[in-house]
Structures are given as structure tokens and as C-alpha cells.
Amino acid sequence: MNFRLASIICGFTILTSCSLPVATLTPTATPAPVSVTVTPSATTLPPLPTAELGLLENPVILALPPASNTPAQIAAAKVLADQFTQRTGSVVVTVVPDSYSALVDALRTGNAHIVLLDPFSYELAYQEGLVSAAYAVVREEKITYGAQFIASRKSGFKSYFNESSQTNFAEAAEALAQFADKKPCWSDEFSPSGYVIPLGYLNKNQVITRPAAFVQGHPTVVRSIYVGGICDFGATYVDARKFPSLEDQYPDLLEQVMVVWRIPEIIPHAVLAFSTSLPQDLRDLFAASIPAMLQTTDGKTAFKVAYDIEELLPVNDSYFNDFHEYVRTSQVELTSLVK
């Protein structure tokens, strides 16, 4: 067994057993498909081998979401690895990183090739040239979602959003200029829709505000605007005003808290990406295998259990150009958002 693969297995917590896996060869000249399931406890590994990627000595590494170590997820990972092996002929190893930062580290060191990334880990890996987007996860028939700026109708701000048609009737520059020198309520430092992307829009349009209040939660942002006295405006996902407990507590909330301007749906739910260290022909081969896997009962179930994926849409990185732009203009340090 290759030193690198043995080191991965010995250095990680083995999900299936405490002994090293043994590759079984068929009587023919080619090895039988092999999949190994391991979970990392560190990201520092031996130098990459010179063997061709996809051989037992240098397997393709399928990374599960961080901390996906339940028995059901482990079993689902093995199904996916086996199906990838059968369809591509490449040996596949599945690993579970401790965190998204560990997953990005694994991409940096060539120890992850197929990954599902949340918005910020995708953005960090993309900015470093580590990944190429292949599929976007579909949620409620969409691969992206938006955000909204809200304010009290008593605040004196003007709304540039038509509730009936659910569309803006002015550009962001005009609508957001009124927030200059006002205090925002943000959800939390890790929220794409409740902080980072709205901040990107403000910065892009040169709207300088007062220091913000982080109130910990989108419903709390809405409540803060309704009650008043904490901040002048806020940002949430669409449409946090309809959160059930808020509607019960404040029956007139929709009349009192207005949408000032709605950010287009530019935030990805999650991105299935390939490492740029994976040769293009292998990326194409693995990408072409995924739709067929999702059409099988075992494959569809495995994607759901391992990744909470029911549907994927083919994409490339340009689908998320607006997201890339507004994360950059937010000037938030990405490494602080990837945990």
C-alpha cells in the first residue's frame, strides 16, 4: 500500500474498522474497484505521490461535510465512493474533515478533490484558485437566495420595493443612499444575507453607516426594527418578517416594517466543486457520473443522507459572479468566516 494512503488511514480516525484496508486484486491484470472510508484528524500529510491520480497509490478523495460521522452518513459515503469507482474506474477515498477551514486546508494540500462547500468556504477556495464549481444545490427549486433591507414605516425612510409585484423600482445606489450615517442591525458576523452581502452593497455604493448592532438572528433584526430604539435599518433573508413567532407576537408587523430594497438572489445555498488539482478529464468524468448516480435509488438516497442533497443543477463559477463581487466589496476577512 502506498505510504500516503497508509498515512492518511493511520493518521485519521477510521470509520469502518481499526485495521488498515487491504486492496483485493482480481485474477486479471487490473485491480478491482476499491473504496476506503477514513476521517481526518489533521490536514498535514506526506508529499503527494507521483502515481497517476485515481490509482490505489493516489486515490481521488471525496470529502463529506464537516463532522458527518454518523453510521448512516458513513454508510452513504461508502455507497457514493463505490458508485464513483464503478462509473469512473478511479479508486475513491472518502474523508470527513473536522471543519470547513480544515476542508479548505485539505484542498490546499491536495488532500480533497470532490467537495461540498457552504457559501463562504466556496468563496475562499475560489479566491485562492483551489476549486472549480460543478453543481449547485437546489433548495425550494432555486440554487441561490437573496436578502432585503428593512426599516420601520415610522422611520422616514422611503421604500423602493413594490410589495405587489415583489420587485424593486430603483437601483441600489438611489435606494441605499438614505442609510448614510444611520445605524444598521445585522444578524451575525457569519450571515451572508444578514450581514456580509448587504454590507457589500452598501460599500459598493459608498454608503457609510454608523457602527452596527449585531443582534444575533434574523427574527431579532426584524423585532429590533419593529420595537425601535436599537438601530435605524436592518437586513435579513427573504422574508424574515413572516417568521411565525413574529407574526403571532406582532399582528401588524408587515404593515409597520417595510422592505426598503431587495437584494437579488445571488447567494448560493451550497456548491459541489472539484479541486483544481484534479485533471480536467477526471473532473469531466466525475461530473458526468453524478446525474446518473442521482437517478438510481441507492445513489439518490446516499446523496441525501451524506450531503442533504436532493437535486443539483450544473453550474460554473461565473454563475456566482455577483456573489464573488459583493463578498469582496464587503471587505470582510473571509478566513474569519470559514469555521
Domains of the chain as residue ranges with CATH:
3-140+269-319 (3.40.190.10), 144-268 (3.40.190.10)
Residue spans of the chain under pLDDT 50: 1-48
| pLDDT (0 to 100) of residue 50 | 65
283-294 core/surface letters (b: 16 or more CB in 10 A; e: else): bebbbebbeebb
Report CA torsion sign: 86, 87, 90, 95.
negative
How far is residue 119's CA from residue 124's CA, in Å, rounded to a whole number?
Answer: 9
Which residue is it, cell 438510481? 296
How far is residue 81's CA from residue 314's CA, in Å, rounded to a whole number?
Answer: 20
Give DSSP secondary structure letters for 95-155.
E--SSHHHHHHHHHTT--SEEEE-HHHHHHHHHTT-EEEEEEE-BTTBSEEEEEEEEEGGG
Length of the chain: 339
How far is residue 331's CA from residue 139's CA, in Å, rounded to a whole number?
Answer: 28
How far is residue 319's CA from residue 266's CA, in Å, rounded to a whole number?
Answer: 9
How far is residue 126's CA from residue 179's CA, in Å, rounded to a whole number?
Answer: 31
How far is residue 280's CA from residue 3's CA, in Å, rounded to a whole number?
Answer: 26
H/E stretch holding 311 reads: none
| pLDDT (0 to 100) of residue 31 | 41
Residue of 180, 140, 148 whose CA lies nearest to 167 = 148
- In eight-state DSSP terms, residue 11 is H
| pLDDT (0 to 100) of residue 196 | 98
| pLDDT (0 to 100) of residue 247 | 83
Which residue is it, cell 476499491? 34
* Grid cell for residue 113: 478533490
Q: How far is CA 50 from CA 4, 55, 56, 234, 316, in A?
A: 11, 11, 12, 53, 29
How far is residue 58's CA from residue 299's CA, in Å, rounded to a whole number?
Answer: 24
How far is residue 41's CA from residue 46's CA, in Å, rounded to a whole number?
Answer: 14
* Grid cell for residue 5: 494512503
Collect all residues with Cβ–Cβ distance below 8 Å to 118 and sequence separation of at least 6: 100, 270
Collect all residues with Cβ–Cβ distance below 8 Å to 88 and sequence separation of at least 6: 54, 60, 282, 285, 286, 289
